[in-house]
A and B are shown apart, each in its own frame.
Chain A
Amino acid sequence: MRTSVKKLVTAVSTSVALMGAGHAAAEIQIGIAGPMTGPVAQYGDMQFSGARMAIEQINANGGVMGEELVAVEYDDVCDPKQAVTVANSLVNDGVRFVIGHLCSSSTQPASDIYEDEGILMVTPASTSPEITERGYELVFRTIGLDSMQGPVAARYIASQSPERVAIVHDKQQYGEGIATAVRDTLKDAGVEIAMFEGITAGDKDFSSLVTKLKQADVDYVYYGGYHPELGLILRQADSAGLDARFMGPEGVGNKDINTIAGEAAEGLLVTLPPAFDQKAENQALVKAFEDKGEDPSGPFVLTSYTAVQLVAEGIEAAGSTDPFDVAAALREGTFQTPIGTVEYDQAGDMKSFEFVVYEWHSDGSKTPVN
């Protein structure tokens, strides 16, 4: 019995090693790291679908410098611990370009490893300013920053001249960061902040919070975080008769919030990247997604597509697959992408990126408000 187990282990590990060796062909591996499972897998779907489409189309047009792009996919569950494990296995697999991660709290620890190991990372979704604040050479993004998104939301709230505003966040890097940006801008605008409070991500009972919001008699509630919690807050606030307008960042803006909150999601305000899929020049691409039965309207689909495209164009421009050369090429060049003209500053942030305020409806559709 013992020996047969040993044999089995040897056989499995040998075949794993052989499988690993199979990867080392003349092709460029593009790692895609994001949540395939877990509470925010919905966003992961957007990321994977956008990146896969870009790889498919680039390969159909002859690849990059004559070599084919190969997607290698990793599931980080949007969990910082898992993200580190994923980053390490990317290193082991010899991947040198990563599209990801999605949640800022995953992107940050993973990017430390990528920078150390010389892997180029382009995140299509992480908006936390800290990610590009550390002077890393190999970290880029195809999305704006919380420090841009928060003020857009805050200015909208201030323009509605509310009497009292409450700000709630989920104590995570993304949620708290954006909530702080909103608070600071509102304070500067002279709006009274009745409450600034954290909740625990994964919690389900918000009855006490809702009671408190009712007691504080607020007319706007800003929530920094993701849809699973805000969906429940909306629903529980609705059934407790709280009369306030809710607003959230792009992390709450997807159709899952409708399955959780139902009718209570009507009228929710969300700041989102502009609807790139509505732009006239992207209609051919939108059709390609629709032909595959995929939905290009999610906020991260085209940012992920762009991330792959930038890596490919960076490689072409640098004439090399060395991540440092590609990073230098990305900082120098100007790129025409589905999300507009992209130019990078030294930190790896795009020089311009705008957020738009949308009103969310209970059927999952949205209309711009400003």
Chain B
Amino acid sequence: MQDLLYFFQQLINGLTIGSTYALIAIGYTMVYGIIGMINFAHGEIYMIGAYTALIAITGLAALGIAWLPLILIVALICAMIVSSSMGWAVERVAYRPVRGRHRLIPLISAIGMSIFLQNYVHLAQGSRNIGFPALIDGGFNFGSGDGFQMSLSYMQITIFITTLICMTALSLFISRSRTGRACRAVSQDLGMANLLGIDTNRIISATFVIGAALAAVAGLLLGMYYGSVDPLFGFIAGLKAFTAAVLGGIGSIPGAMLGGLILGVAESMTSGYLSGEYKDVISFSLLILILLFKPTGLLGKPEVEKI
């Protein structure tokens, strides 16, 4: 019973972290699906989302507003607006001018953008860890009084529910809306979609904006869950989310969700049953194995070289 509770606790830990990886991974996978480039600045967009949310929360607290749902919604909206505009601006400044060139060029441009944004936040906000106020406290406890108690915090429940809502909304948007249909068309064949009258520039911008908005959601959630933010916060999370996207099959949205969850659970199980030191070893070995045996990732479609 004890061991079972322990297992479930680690599973919950893994799913919590995994669902936020999935939120960030969507941004990588959508951009790759549409223009075939890896947006390395995406982790920084997520970090900026977390900082914006923190600034909004601090600002509201200074105004004396204490009603939690209002604080969360305002912080979320601020973070999404700032991150989305950043995502849009990054695409306009760093990627659109070099689109269609050799594929290394946008890649380098993305890395440059990532370094720029990281250092910009270093300068603007300082390099120290800034604590995030614990807004959502408490949770449920399971298990007997003296033995191991499994806890499911309200924060974890918030993360699950928010992720679920975002993912459902995104799936509906992609499958039902006009812009979503255009997104799918552009990802199948950019040139053809253009000929058929789809404003591909607008669709590509929309992809960056959507990815950035989801990353901002993850920024707020993880900022509150972990408890602090720093300018390097996006880099590591971005790396993990990128791994999740590749694991699930880059270019595939369900793949990113699955990849995120698998990565999160693999990490927490490794820390739980082996040692935290091997956490990254196991997750990246998993990635290498999947790429060896299924190069397109779990749910990816084999890429047909278009002539």
Contact = CB atoms under 8 A, between A and B. Distances in A.
Interface residues of A, number: 37
Interface string B272-285: 10011101100000
A228 B39 CA distance: 28
B9 to A, nearest CB: 5
A228 B236 CA distance: 15
A42 interface: yes
Interface in A95-143: none
Interface stretch (B23-31, B174-182, B187-195, B224-232): B224-232
A208 B230 contact: no
Interface in A193-219: 197-200, 202-205, 207-209, 211-212, 214-215, 217
| Residue from B10, B128, B133, B277 having most chain A Cβ neighbours under 10 A | B128
A366 interface: no
B159 to A, nearest CB: 11
Interface in A24-50: 37-39, 41-42
B148 A215 contact: yes
Q: Which 5 A-B pairs have the closest CB atoms?
A: A208-B271, A259-B131, A207-B13, A204-B226, A198-B277
21 contacts: A41-B126, A41-B127, A42-B128, A198-B275, A198-B276, A199-B276, A199-B277, A204-B226, A204-B228, A208-B10, A208-B14, A208-B271, A208-B272, A208-B276, A211-B6, A212-B271, A212-B272, A215-B6, A236-B227, A241-B149, A262-B227
A197 B280 CA distance: 14
Given A207-B16, A211-B10, A260-B228, A200 B280 contact: yes
A62 B6 CA distance: 67
Contacts of A204: 222, 226, 228, 233, 236-237
Nearest to B127: A37
Contacts of B94: none
A15 interface: no
Contacts of B72: none
Interface string B221-247: 010011110101100110000000000
| Residue from B139, B227, B272 having most chain A Cβ neighbours under 10 A | B227
A39 B236 contact: no
Interface in B139-182: 139, 141, 148-149, 151, 153, 155
B201 interface: no
A197 B277 contact: yes
Nearest to A236: B227
Nearest to A42: B128
Given A198-B275, A235-B227, A41 B280 contact: no
A252 interface: no
Interface in A49-67: none
Contacts of A198: 275-277
A189 interface: no
A89 interface: no
Nearest to A239: B153
A164 interface: no
B267 interface: yes
Interface string B254-272: 0000000000000110011
Contacts of B272: 208, 211-212
A233 to B, nearest CB: 10
B122 interface: yes
Contact of B276 (A197, A215, A241): A197
Contact of B17 (A38, A205, A215): A205
Contacts, number: 109
A262 B134 contact: yes
A42 B128 CA distance: 8
A256 interface: yes
A261 B151 contact: no
Given A208-B13, A211-B9, A202 B236 contact: yes
Contacts of A39: 127-129, 230, 232
A162 B230 CA distance: 35
B55 interface: no
A261 B268 contact: no
A197 B276 CA distance: 7
| Residue from B127, B233, B280 having most chain A Cβ neighbours under 10 A | B127
A171 interface: yes
A225 interface: no
Given A239-B139, A239-B155, 12 more contacts: A198-B277, A202-B236, A204-B226, A205-B226, A208-B267, A208-B268, A208-B272, A211-B9, A212-B271, A214-B148, A239-B137, A261-B227
B290 interface: no
Interface string A224-246: 00011001100110011100000
Nearest to A44: B127
A41 B128 CA distance: 7
Contacts of B222: 204
| Residue from B129, B139, B148 having most chain A Cβ neighbours under 10 A | B129
A198 B280 CA distance: 12
Interface string B200-232: 000000000000000000000010011110101
B129 A228 contact: yes
A213 B150 CA distance: 12
Contacts of A208: 10, 13-14, 267-268, 271-272, 276, 279
